[in-house]
Chains A and B, each alone.
Chain A
């Protein structure tokens, strides 16, 4: 089962390495990982996608809590969180195929970021699942290069998130 974890860490040297090293050492796999700044300059957010059983997820959360640089661990529950990803896709685009590609891009709200003689770079922001779908559709046209940021997420403004940040309460 796939889970998305949103982890706030102190913005200190090695903080990311401590988190990823813990995953590696304990044999937990990371599907995707996105790191970046938050509203506080001294705090970074790591968004992790993991594929594991719920008992393993509980162990991951508890092990992360033990890291001194980790401030908060929260599972983003589907439906209760906004999840987005940015992708850049360079697709082969001879003039004869351009119209078709543009129509596809339109349907997925992907933008043209760059246009060359025989290829197009699309940029797309959407749910990771939407990007998966767009990727599959353009692949037969010749997907030359692909870069994805990995999933980013925040709990929805409209619904309280499921908090799982305090194992000390058990």
Chain B
């Protein structure tokens, strides 16, 4: 067989169900191999960036490695954003790109681009395949590296002549990667020390990040929290890793987290960071973050230990066994008084906004979505990036892991629609809802065609305020209301008509009643839908800890200082 067939046989051997991609010149032999037949489903995206985010959405929803395919040159560079996104959020991804023939490499040939060079800072590793005989081993290594240790993206660049060259295929049982040795267990003494610190704490808290999902360790996390009666805050990346209707869930920390959640994290005396990395959007001003707290840091990546916040008790290892051992070692004390305190803060500082007689409030859209889907474990949410994403975090409650899929670290606008398509490929049983902004929607709307034609239906709910809303909020609050280049308008494009043009159902809603009707119909339709919810453009996302400020500087909703300009 040739190299292209060998790629597909390797994907099959890895158990890959689906890949997302778009053909082009340098990857033609691989697409010819697809035409010859494979068990791997190929989902044809409309843009390589879409293919990349679909693979990410698939990986996030399934807990498996996502795979995307693109051609050389512009096809490969269009993957750069999803690769960077997967790098920041530790999403396991194998990207396969075509490359010009080996004899043409370095000659500025048509659609040539040094994609392995371009992506070096944003991949765990990459390979430019020089010899067809190496292909099976490299692909085996690629999947291994993507999903072991701290998960992340890898790239395999395959010149066209390598895809066409013949080889005797056999998929290796094992591979030798002498430089790749992720930790296999946590140090028992450190775990004992961690258990003692938690047991001795008066105000302990579990600060949970996306690592717990990558580690498939949500059950172990649950056991630990229950055994210690430990309050849990989940970051944006960990939303759903711990049931959000559970009494121990203490909300979401960070810039737009509720004040009571940030209070709980900042006033804790022992913080157990679980697969979290003290991102600046969580800590705010570092010197004022959780002053005096003892930090126990559990992570598979040694480089995260004391990178931002000094770890008093680091435990480097895979979270699944580490959390299980910590639970076994833990002699729980009482956290009643501490939890009662958090409950009082929760009562004192609820999420607030003011209803309006004439305009639909964006928060109301999310409340309605939550109401219509409450109790269902077959709803998967994706979002774009901006105000709508933060409101989704605040108002949608996820009780099941892998049901909230969003771009955290990179903050990639346009992530929502393609990620939803990928999530739907992973969860054919689920209703996939993309909460989007009008700005985000216009960055990747072309993938509606993919959703419709590949029969991967998604419901896109646009919080359409006609603005780049988060930028508007910052210009209003921090740039003395000098609004600059943010007005997209609510009317252009007409999203419902656009949806129809793609063969989807389109709805426009301007009142709560219209919205309820549209959402009910959309959620029940089983088809790809776009609900254009025309919301109040003046609405800001609160509470907010301004960039570089501390939790004590939280700006809360205040009806009297609502923006009045329309």
**Are the C-beta atoms of B302 and A68 separated by less than 8 Å?**
no
Query: Hey, what's the 0/1 contact readout for A1-44 against B, CB within 8 Å counting as 1?
Result: 00000000110011001100110110000000000000000000
Question: Is the C-beta of B433 less than 8 angstroms from some C-beta in chain A?
Answer: no
**Are the C-beta atoms of B128 and A13 separated by less than 8 Å?**
yes
Question: Is the C-beta of A67 less than 8 angstroms from some C-beta in chain B?
Answer: yes
CA–CA, A158 and B187, complex, Å: 32
Q: In the complex, which residues of chain A have a beta carbon less than 8 angstroms from the beta carbon of B190?
A: 170
Interface size class of B (residues with CB under 8 A): 20 to 34
Question: Is the C-beta of B120 less than 8 angstroms from some C-beta in chain A?
Answer: yes
Question: Is the C-beta of A167 less than 8 angstroms from some C-beta in chain B?
Answer: yes
Question: Is the C-beta of A45 less than 8 angstroms from some C-beta in chain B?
Answer: no
**Are the C-beta atoms of B187 and A25 separated by less than 8 Å?**
no
Contacting residue for B302 out of A21, A69, A168, CB 8 A:
A168
**Are the C-beta atoms of A14 and B306 separated by less than 8 Å?**
no
A19 → chain B, closest Cβ, in Å? Answer: 10
Q: In the complex, which residues of chain B have a beta carbon less than 8 angstroms from the beta carbon of A68?
A: 124-125, 145, 177, 179-180
Question: Is the C-beta of A58 less than 8 angstroms from some C-beta in chain B?
Answer: yes
Q: In the complex, which residues of chain B have a beta carbon less than 8 angstroms from the beta carbon of A71?
A: 178-179
**Are the C-beta atoms of A10 and B306 separated by less than 8 Å?**
no
CA–CA, A67 and B306, complex, Å: 19
Q: Which chain B residue has the least Cβ–Cβ distance from A167?
A: B302
**Are the C-beta atoms of A66 and B120 separated by less than 8 Å?**
no
Q: A68-B177, A70-B179 are in contact. Are A170 and B305 (CB under 8 A)?
A: yes
Query: Hey, what's the 0/1 contact readout for A42-70 against B, CB within 8 Å counting as 1?
Result: 00000000000001001100110111111
Query: Hey, what's the 0/1 contact readout for B424-435 against A, CB within 8 Å counting as 1?
Result: 000000000000
**Are the C-beta atoms of B303 and A59 separated by less than 8 Å?**
yes
Q: In the complex, which residues of chain B have a beta carbon less than 8 angstroms from the beta carbon of A65?
A: 302-303
CA–CA, A167 and B190, complex, Å: 13
**Are the C-beta atoms of B303 and A66 separated by less than 8 Å?**
yes
CA–CA, A9 and B126, complex, Å: 15
CA–CA, A17 and B116, complex, Å: 11
B275 → chain A, closest Cβ, in Å? Answer: 16
Question: Is the C-beta of B106 less than 8 angstroms from some C-beta in chain A?
Answer: no
| Centre residue among B120, B301, B305 by max chain A CB count within 10 A | B120
CA–CA, A62 and B316, complex, Å: 12
Q: In the complex, which residues of chain A have a beta carbon less than 8 angstroms from the beta carbon of B316?
A: 167-168, 170
Query: Hey, what's the 0/1 contact readout for B113-128 against A, CB within 8 Å counting as 1?
Result: 0001100110011101
CA–CA, A68 and B316, complex, Å: 18
B195 → chain A, closest Cβ, in Å? Answer: 17
Q: In the complex, which residues of chain A have a beta carbon less than 8 angstroms from the beta carbon of B120?
A: 14, 17-18, 21
Question: Is the C-beta of B307 less than 8 angstroms from some C-beta in chain A?
Answer: yes
CA–CA, A143 and B186, complex, Å: 56
Q: Which chain A residue has the least Cβ–Cβ distance from B317?
A: A168
| Centre residue among B125, B180, B302 by max chain A CB count within 10 A | B302
Chain A contact residues: helix, strand, loop or mixed: helix
Question: Is the C-beta of B546 less than 8 angstroms from some C-beta in chain A?
Answer: no
A-B contact count (CB 8 A): 61
Question: Is the C-beta of A169 less than 8 angstroms from some C-beta in chain B?
Answer: yes
Q: In the complex, which residues of chain B have a beta carbon less than 8 angstroms from the beta carbon of A67?
A: 125, 179
**Are the C-beta atoms of B307 and A59 separated by less than 8 Å?**
yes
CA–CA, A69 and B179, complex, Å: 5
CA–CA, A21 and B187, complex, Å: 31
**Are the C-beta atoms of A58 and B306 separated by less than 8 Å?**
yes
Question: Is the C-beta of B416 less than 8 angstroms from some C-beta in chain A?
Answer: no
CA–CA, A108 and B148, complex, Å: 52
**Are the C-beta atoms of A10 and B117 separated by less than 8 Å?**
no
CA–CA, A169 and B185, complex, Å: 10
B359 → chain A, closest Cβ, in Å? Answer: 45
B526 → chain A, closest Cβ, in Å? Answer: 44
Query: Hey, what's the 0/1 contact readout for B135-156 against A, CB within 8 Å counting as 1?
Result: 0000000000100011000000
Q: A17-B120, A21-B120, A25-B121 are in contact. Are A169 and B145 (CB under 8 A)?
A: no
Q: In the complex, which residues of chain B have a beta carbon less than 8 angstroms from the beta carbon of A170?
A: 187, 190, 302, 305, 314, 316
B321 → chain A, closest Cβ, in Å? Answer: 14
Q: In the complex, which residues of chain B have a beta carbon less than 8 angstroms from the beta carbon of A25?
A: 121
Q: In the complex, which residues of chain A have a beta carbon less than 8 angstroms from the beta carbon of B117?
A: 14, 17
**Are the C-beta atoms of A168 and B183 separated by less than 8 Å?**
yes
Q: In the complex, which residues of chain A have a beta carbon less than 8 angstroms from the beta carbon of B116?
A: 14
B332-375 interface (Cβ within 8 A of A): none
Q: Which chain A residue has the least Cβ–Cβ distance from B145?
A: A68
B211 → chain A, closest Cβ, in Å? Answer: 15
Q: In the complex, which residues of chain B have a beta carbon less than 8 angstroms from the beta carbon of A69?
A: 125, 179
A143 → chain B, closest Cβ, in Å? Answer: 36
CA–CA, A62 and B306, complex, Å: 11
Q: In the complex, which residues of chain B have a beta carbon less than 8 angstroms from the beta carbon of A10?
A: 178-179
Contacting residue for A169 out of B126, B181, B187, B306, CB 8 A:
B187
CA–CA, A70 and B124, complex, Å: 12
Q: Which chain A residue has the least Cβ–Cβ distance from B181?
A: A168
Q: Residues of B with Cβ closer than 8 Å to A?
A: 116-117, 120-121, 124-126, 128, 145, 149-150, 177-181, 183, 187, 190, 301-303, 305-307, 314, 316-317
- 11 contacting pairs across A/B (C-beta < 8 A): A10-B179, A17-B117, A18-B120, A22-B121, A25-B121, A62-B302, A65-B303, A66-B149, A66-B303, A69-B125, A170-B190
Q: Residues of A with Cβ closer than 8 Å to B?
A: 9-10, 13-14, 17-18, 21-22, 24-25, 55, 58-59, 62-63, 65-71, 167-170
Task: Return the 4 tightest CB-CB contacts between A and B, nearest first.
Answer: A167-B302, A62-B303, A68-B125, A168-B183
Given contact pairs A167-B305, A167-B316, A168-B317, a sample of 10 additional A-B residue pairs in the complex whose CB atoms are under 8 Å apart:
A22-B121, A25-B121, A62-B302, A66-B149, A67-B179, A68-B124, A68-B145, A68-B177, A170-B190, A170-B302
